[in-house]
Structure formats: structure tokens, C-alpha cells
Amino acid sequence: MTENQVLEVVKKAIREEGSHLYIEHETHFRHHEFISELIKWSEVAKGTACKAIIKAIIGVLIGLIVLGFLVWGRPSGG
């Protein structure tokens, strides 16, 4: 088989067997838009989650400091 014959056979096989894999350009473009928006949303959510976790840790630390001052400043029972 020559190279051209191989190319023709491959093209024919793709047309016959690969037609179910074809995605319209508009659909493909919308998929990429959706994925792009999903990535943007996940970055925002990740940033929001990190901020919330940091605020919670800071709140707990402040609470422990205040609790420590209350316990330390309390007169002993002795």
C-alpha cells in the first residue's frame, strides 16, 4: 500500500467509525466556556474558604487569649 492509499483508508475509517465522536464547534466552545467559568468559581471559592478558615483560627486564638487572661486574673482559692 502506498502512503496515499493508507491515508484514504484511514480517512474512510474515521468517517465511518468516528462520526459518533464528532462534537459541533458551538457545543465545544460552550463546553470550554463552562470549564473556564468553573475554574474561576473554584478559585474564588478556594479564596473564600481560606479566608473563612483563617478568620476562624484567629477567632479561636483571641478566645483562648481572653480565656487565659480571665483564668490568670482570677484569685486563687487558697
d(CA 37, CA 52): 22
Dig out the grid coordinates for 50 from the structure: 481560606
Q: Which DSSP symbol is given to 75?
A: P
Q: Which residues of the chain have pLDDT under 70?
A: 19, 76-78
Q: What is the pLDDT, as a whole number, of residue 71? A: 86
pLDDT tens, residue by residue, 21-40: 777 889 889 999 999 999 99
DSSP 8-state class, residue 22: -
Tell me how far CA of residue 20 lies from CA of 11, 17, 25, 26, in angstroms.
15, 7, 14, 16
Cα–Cα distance, 11 to 4 (Å, whole number): 10
Q: And the C-alpha cell for 72? A: 490568670
